[in-house]
Amino acid sequence: MTLTQLEYILAVGDTGSFSQAASQCHVTQPTLSMQIQKLEDELNVILFDRTRQPVRPTQIGELVLKQARLVVQSSQHLREIVDENKGAISGTLRIGIIPTLAPYLLPLFLNQFMKKFPRVHLVIDELETQAIVDKIRNNSLDLGIAVTPIDDLNISQKALFYEPFVAYFSPGHSLLQKKHVDESDLSLNEMLLLSEGHCFREQSLGLCKNRKNLNSSANFSFEGGSLETLKKLVDQGDGFTLLPLLAADDVEDKKRLKPFSVPVPTREVSVLHGPHFQRKALLTALTDTILSALPKDMPLTRSKSQFKVDNPLGHRS
């Protein structure tokens, strides 16, 4: 059994194709197929169902692929750990980040990080929280940036900052007369929401205390896949939406943004990793870069003037 053979089966598992896997590994298909066959003979198992298109792992193949991914990644990380011990930060870092953070947080720190650590190759994937957790569990991601807490003992969570919520109202909305808004002011009839699967949707629903006289016959309702869509619809409509603070930065008419009364609803943004992550210097480099790039008014610690909104994957706090 060799690392090369493990890399080959991972490529087939990821692409679902022997020909695509061979191209990805820069070898001919007969070479790749022969090495995989040798591995199957050595283990005395069939790793892939070759009768299906795309090619799928067998039941035992799924287990072997999971362990193979961990072995290959651990071998890659060995050199990276040695380099870090020598003061050099390098290698590939795969990060998952939730959609309500990605467009607003990445532009703040990404270029700065790449310039400071040119030997690090970042692979960033925009994913919902559950997908990030799943990929960390199966070692497809090194780190995640998401909202916590997450109720999983195998996922380490280090809080980065505490992001307040703000309300964004359409022009002429009656609540624009107020300096601050309360949860009791918000009507679910008027709120534009993200679609199901986004944790920010559930947090927004949890904040909306005014559920009386819900009008199911209203002639317009919308659930969007991005905060940017919700912002544009609020600009054209007569309702409102809730935004995390970073997403409100580019709003042109700041007067239509209203902060909440104390205690301010806040979400905890954290970096996540699995139990086998050992690249502590790289993690510190990333978190330090993120923190230094945040707006000065972004709270880095939780205070009595805030309350942390429930995370659907976590527990009450």
Q: Same CATH topology for 3-70 and 163-265?
A: no
* 3-state SS class at 248: helix
Higher pLDDT, 82 or 184: 184
- Kindly tell me if the per-residue pLDDT of 54 is higher than 80: yes
Q: For residues 277-295, give the mean pLDDT.
A: 93
Q: What is the mean pLDDT of residues 24-52?
A: 93
Which CATH architecture best describes the domain 3-70? Orthogonal Bundle (1.10)
pLDDT at residue 220 above 90? Answer: no
Spatial CB neighbours of 299, under 8 Å, sequence gap ≥ 6: 161, 162, 163, 164, 266, 306
pLDDT at 316 over 50: no
| Banded model confidence at residue 313, pLDDT cuts 50, 70, 90 | low
Going by pLDDT thresholds of 50, 70 and 90, the confidence category of residue 212 is: very low
Strands 143-148 and 91-97: parallel
What average pLDDT score do residues 21-30 get?
92
Judging by DSSP bridges, how do beta strands 223-224 and 193-194 pair with one another? parallel
Domain 86-161+266-308 class in CATH: alpha beta
The answer, yes or no, to whether residue 221 has pLDDT greater than 80, is no
Looking at residue 276, what is its pLDDT?
A: 79
If one counts every other C-beta atom within 10 angstroms of the C-beta of residue 162, the result is: 19
pLDDT in tens, 108-148: 999 999 999 998 999 999 999 999 999 998 888 999 999 99
Average confidence (pLDDT) over 96-118: 96
Q: pTM of the entire structure?
A: 0.74
- Model pLDDT, residue 308: 84
**What residue has token string 């362990």?**
67
- In angstroms, the CA 114 to CA 94 distance is 14
Q: Which helix (H) or strand (E) holds 164?
A: strand 156-169
pLDDT at 88 over 80: no
Residue 230 to residue 251: CA distance in whole angstroms: 12
- Domain positions in the chain are 3-70, 86-161+266-308, 163-265
Question: What's the fold here for domain 163-265?
Answer: D-Maltodextrin-Binding Protein; domain 2 (3.40.190)
| CA–CA separation, 286 and 207 (whole Å) | 32
pLDDT at 47 over 50: yes
Q: Tell me the two tokens of residue 150.
A: 């997450």
Nearest to 287 by CA among 117, 32, 37: 117
Amino acid 80: pLDDT: 65
**Does 102 or 194 have the greater pLDDT score?**
102
pLDDT band at 213 (very low <50, low <70, confident <90, very high): very low
Q: What is the dihedral of CA 195, 200, 201, 202, to 10 degrees?
A: 130
